[in-house]
Amino acid sequence: MAPTIGFFTRVLDDAAAAERYRIALEQIELAESLGFETAWVAQHHLDGAEGGLPSPFVLLAAAAARTARIRLGTAILTLAHEHPARAAEDAVVLDTIAGGRAELGLGTGGSPRTLSAFGEDPGQRRAIYDAKLVRLRSLIAGTADQSLYPQQQTGLEGRIWQATFSPEGAGAIGAQGDGLMLSRVQPIPSEHTGDVPPRVWEVQRRLVDAYLDALPSGVAPRVLASRSVVVVDPADRSAVRAHAEAGIGAQVAQLHGITPGSLSLDELLVRSETHLGTPAEVIDSLAADTVAAGATEVSIQVHSVDPDASITNRSLELFAREVAPALGWPVAIEPQEARRVA
């Protein structure tokens, strides 16, 4: 089955917070009109340069009021930072407002500094996450010693996702029957040798296999592959490529220890797994990604290119109208007259 498409934002536009949130909401509306199945937002605490949204349920509730069909998800909610009952309540309220359209993506969160700020021990991050996940799941499923209000009635317990970088983590997620969330980038396995790192889908194949092997019988697989995609008109290609070099260079330096300026932009695009170019170029580069092709959903984001919002909006349109159909990925674009007006 071909993957559906989703839109993902880290809410990182070069603007004040209020403008960032306005842009994100308008892009979610645009994604719905272009036939995207889901819109995902990330949660980051205390650092607006890493991600601009500490309170994803608040923004997604606003998005729910402005949309009718698109599913609204967290990718991810940093559960180790949250009180599990509070997170469960917020998720259920969002799902109620959205008419059963919430998707709950979870992960540990990566920053020791922010865990400390929330009164948690960074050294116990995994154990904290695991314990909170058990409590959150029981509350949402209605098996806990106390009941939520409002009670969950739309099957949200079947729309829990978890993120991981390891085959062991993927197997655990599969055993729990949750959806598997795959990142746009992937740490290089410790056993890898050679100067050229493997492509993201080469590493993630092991995660998908471990997940599928552990999935209980009768549970449908849910695999979301996040990918960095910026589709541009030919007239904008040179300017966007020039803008992209700094952000992608910083990402590659952080992930791979590459000295800034030592790689060409085309080499940086490969190392950062960024699909940047005209529709034809992006079709060619994404066609090689076997994990994306076999996923149940591909969610696209513009990080670390982080172009102007107008370029992001155009990229969403070009992806929906030209790239996704060419790859055989289903899209149902709304007629212009059917689109909601905010």
Could you read off the pLDDT of 56-101 as tens digits, one per residue? 999 999 999 999 999 999 999 999 999 999 999 999 999 999 999 9
Provide mean pLDDT across the span 24-52: 97
Provide mean pLDDT across the span 10-36: 98
Q: By the 8 A CB rule, do 304 and 247 touch?
A: yes
Residue 212's identity, in one-letter code, is L
DSSP 65-128: HH-SS-EEEEEEEEGGGS-HHHHHHHHHHHHHHTTS-EEEEEE--S-HHHHHHTT--GGGHHHH
For position 342, what pLDDT does the model report?
A: 39
Q: By the 8 A CB rule, do 214 and 172 touch?
A: yes
Question: What's CA 150's distance to the chain center, in Å?
Answer: 27
Q: By the 8 A CB rule, do 298 and 3 touch?
A: yes
- Give 102's Cβ-side CA count (13 Å radius): 35
Look at residues 125, 132, 114, 127 and name the one whose alpha carbon lies nearest to residue 46. 114
Structure-block tokens of residue 283: 């079709």
For position 292, what pLDDT does the model report?
A: 98
Average pLDDT of the residues of the chain: 94
Environment class of residue 334 by beta-carbon count within 10 Å: exposed (0-12), middle (13-18) or buried (19+)?
A: middle
Provide mean pLDDT across the span 294-322: 97
Structure-block tokens of residue 243: 């803008």
For position 255, what pLDDT does the model report?
A: 66
Provide mean pLDDT across the span 264-284: 95
- Three-state secondary structure readout of 318-336: HHHHHHHHHHCCCCCCCCH
Structure-block tokens of residue 172: 């655990």
Provide mean pLDDT across the span 269-279: 95
Q: Which of 76-85, 96-105, 108-117, 139-148 has the lowest mean pLDDT?
A: 108-117
- Per DSSP, 192 falls in state -
Please give the Cα distance from 35 to 6 (Å, whole number).
9
Tell me the whole-structure pTM to 2 decimals.
0.95
* Percent of the chain whose pLDDT exceeds 70: 97
* Percent of the chain whose pLDDT exceeds 90: 85
Q: By the 8 A CB rule, do 129 and 80 touch?
A: yes
Token pair 């199945």 is at which residue?
37
